[in-house]
Amino acid sequence: MKVTFVGVGAIGLPMALRIKHAGHEVTGIDVSAAVIANATSSGIETVNNFANAPGADVVVVMVATPDQLAGLIARVSGMVQGQLWLIMSTVGPQSVRDQGEILQRGGARVVDAPVTGGVARARTGELVIFAAGDPGDIANAAPILKAMGTVRVTGQRLGDGQSIKVVNQHLCSVHIAAAAEALTLARSLGLDPATVLEFVEKGAAGSWMLSDRGPRMLAGTDVEVTSTINIFVKDSGLAMAAGESCGAQLPLLTIAHERFCRAADAGLGLRDDSRVIETWS
């Protein structure tokens, strides 16, 4: 298939490369000159404007925010006739429903397909994809989606995939904050946090986030950025908004969200999300 991939940054680029390695023709789109240069040198020819990309059968979207998604679709809604759009960004259920409706009015088919697994699993093609939409559209998207990971069909309504993703991000947000607080507690008790991490991470108190973020929290210096503080400000905020829309009580998420916001306010927004531990210092 001919694929246009919008947003070839930290997680988008390895996803696009997986699609290319599966035998599809991929063109990237991004607004950052540095990202364009990196993607092109990595093997994904990338341009800065949707209109400059070749005609595509499938458009994959990995922008960062609901506003970016809305801006993209406002610019291209007259150019989407006959295309299959896969919205893989985490933008929340209402955003994907609103923007999906605009795309459908323009003649496109739409699959709501957010992902979890981060950069590490994007590189290996082991993402988990929460796909929602018309069963025929999901079937048509399968060769692209399966190049990136495992597809879990969550329903036929646009927004069902995003709803599961906000539940996922609720847990991720709380688990990262809990790991930071627990490692801070270990240090305050006069223990070596690295030793404590080794002791507890494989037991009942362990979590994927503790094992993945814990070592980075203890590094004491900046580490490779695989997911920024700003991403978790956004994602925990989306989960809170989804909770408010249905009357769910989310006190733990509220605390985690406040910590990510505090880290962003301290100038850590573009740092790795593991640096949220610095809000306990």
pLDDT, tens only, 179-234: 999 999 999 999 999 999 999 999 999 999 999 999 999 997 788 888 899 999 99
How far apart are the C-alpha atoms of 234 and 252, rounded to whole Å? 16
Label residue 153 by pLDDT band (50, 70, 90). Answer: very high
pLDDT, tens only, 259-279: 999 999 999 999 999 999 999
> 2-158: what CATH class?
alpha beta
pLDDT (0 to 100) of residue 238: 95
pLDDT, tens only, 38-68: 999 999 999 999 999 999 999 999 998 999 9
Domain ranges (residues) in the chain: 2-158, 163-280
pLDDT (0 to 100) of residue 221: 77
**pTM for the predicted model, two decimal places:** 0.90
CATH topology of domain 163-280: N-(1-d-carboxylethyl)-l-norvaline Dehydrogenase; domain 2 (1.10.1040)
